[in-house]
Amino acid sequence: MSELFKNKTVIISGGLGDIGKAIGLAFADQGAAVAIGDIRPAKESKSFLLELTRRKVGFHYEQVDVADAKEVRNWIANVERELGTPSLIIPNAATVTLASACEITSMQWAREMRINLDGAFHLAQTCANRLLHHSRAGRIVFVGSWAASTPHPNMAAYSVSKAGLRMLCQCMALELASQGILVNEVAPGYVDAGLSKTIWKKNMGLYVQSRKKVPLRKLISPEEVAAQVVHLCHPQNKHMTGTTLLMDGGLSLLC
């Protein structure tokens, strides 16, 4: 185990999802204490927390709905008490509703914005304010998507939420740069996990089609996404802020 992030705490929303877990383990492997929040009940976190225990790092799990600003604030206060102020902040929780812009209900639309965009904002804003309060540097890495800049049918709410996230990343990067808080985004294409896998499970034809469409002819693993998140948090990254690290196997070149 490397000690690159020893004495640092990473906080990850949607941390029981496929990409969230890979990010948690990647930071634990480098010595960070890991705080996970997810809407899933605590009993669903047990096997993952066992993996963190084996890595001998501090950890904290809390059931939290990121759409609720107060729940997010309480979660962060509890993490701060147990593991110290998180300086590596990873807004990752998201959901996707497959429905056309004409058919999606206003409730579905609002819920998706509240989770994907507002939820990421609640986590990033509260943690940034805690760092400012302690005059500490830090890193925020949003987990976005290539869908932020490439329109897809039946995914308007998701794409709009991720496009908003990209602008939030740039605005926060500009505002926080002078305080030593670097803000970036990782934007994956098709990851063979999580949200995409759930869609593909219902439609194997779409899975084969998606795979063939990627110019590099490969799907991304959650571990590869995690490696790029860690890369943006690396102490040697002193100058990248407000950027999007697009890792889509060349998909967006087709558009």
Q: CA–CA separation, 33 vs 158, rounded Å?
A: 31
Question: Which of the stretches 11-19, 47-55, 100-108, 176-184 binds ligand NAD when contact is defined by CB under 6 A?
Answer: 11-19
* CB-CB contact of 130 with 72 (8 Å): no
Amino acid at 218: K
Q: How far is the CB of 133 from ligand NAD (least distance, A)?
A: 24
Q: How far is the CB of 184 from ligand NAD (least distance, A)?
A: 14
- Residue 18 touching ligand NAD (CB under 6 A): yes
Q: CA–CA separation, 217 vs 48, rounded Å?
A: 31
Q: CA–CA separation, 189 vs 186, rounded Å?
A: 10
Binding-site member from 9, 159, 196, 210 for ligand NAD (CB under 6 A): 196
- Residue 169 touching ligand NAD (CB under 6 A): no
**Total count of residues recorded for the chain:** 255
Binding-site member from 24, 28, 61, 65 for ligand NAD (CB under 6 A): 65
Is the Cβ of residue 132 or residue 254 nearer to ligand NAD in the bound state?
254
- Residue 13 touching ligand NAD (CB under 6 A): yes
Q: CA–CA separation, 224 vs 150, rounded Å?
A: 21
- β-partners of residue 182 are 139
Q: CA–CA separation, 184 vs 241, rounded Å?
A: 5
Residue 200 structure tokens? 């593909």
* Inter-CA distances, 5 with 1, 33, 230, 234, Å: 11, 8, 10, 9
- Residue 247 touching ligand NAD (CB under 6 A): no
x-or-dash pattern for ligand NAD, window 70-109, by CB under 6 A?
A: ----------------------xxxx--------------
- Residue 38 touching ligand NAD (CB under 6 A): yes
Binding-site member from 14, 24, 138, 249 for ligand NAD (CB under 6 A): 14
Q: CA–CA separation, 221 vs 228, rounded Å?
A: 11
Site for ligand NAD, rule CB under 6 A = 13-14, 16-20, 38-40, 64-67, 92-95, 115, 119, 143, 145, 188, 190-191, 193-196
